[in-house]
């Protein structure tokens, strides 16, 4: 009887350094297994629809939409890999090896870093579009934007490699027992990460969007106060400005939601060890993951092309010959 109890209590009863089995409260288990599983599915499906839409329909392959595609890829990883692995890590013994654990953490940090870098690129894109509209078509081209996205992901991968270099050399070195999946960073590395990964990008984002907001308000007032008897050329220019302003507002909502979801965790960075309850820490992580589900919902609310593309995909019209040439705009 005692042996059965020990086997139920430990992950690997035959090993001396075995971890204890996670024993979440029934309410926490329901939340992790049902609610988060559903949340993971929704996040993965919605972002996959964005990836298919921008990748397939050529009319949607514009510089700004390439940034949306990049953000959708990082958000898709959150829904498809990170959240399922997190559910498994919280409710089960980690029995799938240290390499898999390292892969989980690497993809997690890479996705969040690439997401932050993409948000910075979105802010820069709107800054050029609103503040320097005449130079935008020549400065922000499709090849340049693709190059910027590749550089963003490459820098994120290099940064994560440096951050986890010790774990890459010796996977599992941070585990205190067998059946655990953790990585650790000292206070200096954590502080460096705070500045490089959060404070610096957020400062850039806020400064750029403050400038965009001021110029956008000025342009909006100028358009509404302009005499209606304008030439066709000026009307076209005004229509272009309205389109850019609408994109700026939509992507501005995206940036604000990002800040709301990510700021609480980093604001609590220096106090995170003092929390006696891990529930609050888990909530802060969940809030960051929530951002990956909210992004496609923002596109659905503000972008008609996304709704058209989703309808095209769901009704399987995308399988018809020449469907990728359909106009979703």
Q: What is the pLDDT of residue 87?
A: 83
What average pLDDT does the segment 215-222 reach? 69
Instruction: Tell me the Cα Rg of the chain.
Output: 23
First vs last Cα of the chain: how many Å apart?
68
Q: Phi and psi (nearest 5°) for 326?
A: -65, 145
Half-sphere exposure of 129 (CA within 13 A, CB side): 24
Q: Quote the tokens at residue 179.
A: 């059946």
In terms of C-beta distances under 8 Å and separation of at least 24 residues, what long-range contacts does 268-273 make, across chains too?
A: 269/190, 269/194
- Is the pLDDT score of 7 beyond 70? no
Grouping H, G, I as helix, E, B as strand and the rest as coil, residue 27 is helix
Rounded CA separation 322/327 (Å): 11
Rounded CA separation 250/267 (Å): 26
- Is the pLDDT score of 31 beyond 60? yes
What average pLDDT does the segment 163-172 reach? 86
pLDDT band at 104 (very low <50, low <70, confident <90, very high): very high
Q: Quote the tokens at residue 84.
A: 């399922």
Please name the residue that has the structure tokens 């990008």. Answer: 201
Q: Phi and psi (nearest 5°) for 22?
A: -60, 135
Question: What is the CATH code of the structural domain delimited by 25-325?
Answer: 1.20.1070.10
Widest Cα–Cα separation across the chain: 91
Instruction: Render pLDDT for 299-315 as a digit per residue (tens, 0 to 9).
Output: 877 888 888 888 888 88
Rounded CA separation 290/194 (Å): 20
Q: What is the pLDDT of residue 236?
A: 42
Please name the residue that has the structure tokens 């892969």. Answer: 103
What average pLDDT does the segment 287-300 reach? 86
């Amino acid at each position: 009887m005692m042996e059965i109890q020990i086997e139920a209590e430990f992950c690997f009863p035959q090993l001396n350094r075995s971890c204890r089995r996670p024993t979440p409260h029934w309410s926490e288990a329901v939340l992790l297994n049902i609610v988060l599983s559903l949340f993971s599915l929704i996040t993965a499906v919605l972002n996959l629809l964005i990836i298919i839409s921008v990748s397939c329909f050529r009319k949607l392959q514009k510089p700004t939409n390439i940034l949306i595609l990049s953000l959708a890829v990082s958000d898709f990883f959150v829904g498809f890999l990170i959240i399922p692995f997190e559910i498994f890590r919280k409710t089960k013994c980690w029995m799938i090896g240290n390499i898999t654990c390292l892969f989980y953490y690497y993809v997690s940090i890479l996705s969040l870093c690439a997401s932050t870098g993409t948000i910075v690129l979105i802010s820069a894109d709107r800054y050029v579009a609103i503040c320097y509209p005449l130079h935008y078509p020549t400065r922000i081209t499709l090849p340049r934007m693709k190059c910027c996205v590749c550089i963003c992901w490459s820098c994120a991968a290099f940064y994560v490699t440096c951050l986890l270099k010790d774990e890459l050399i010796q996977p599992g070195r941070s585990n205190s027992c067998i059946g655990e999946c953790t990585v650790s960073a000292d206070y200096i590395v954590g502080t460096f990460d705070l500045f490089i990964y959060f404070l610096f990008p957020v400062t850039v984002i806020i400064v750029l969007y403050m400038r965009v907001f001021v110029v956008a308000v000025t342009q909006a007032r100028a358009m509404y106060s302009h005499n209606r008897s304008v030439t066709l050329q000026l009307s076209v220019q005004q229509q272009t400005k309205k389109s850019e302003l609408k994109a700026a507002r939509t992507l501005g909502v995206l940036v604000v939601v990002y800040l709301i979801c990510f700021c609480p965790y980093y604001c609590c960075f220096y106090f995170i060890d003092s929390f006696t309850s891990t529930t609050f820490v888990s909530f802060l992580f969940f809030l960051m993951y929530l951002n990956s589900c909210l992004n496609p919902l923002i596109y659905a609310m503000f972008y008609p092309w996304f709704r058209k593309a989703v309808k095209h995909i769901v009704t399987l019209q995308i399988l018809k010959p020449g469907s990728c040439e359909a106009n979703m705009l």
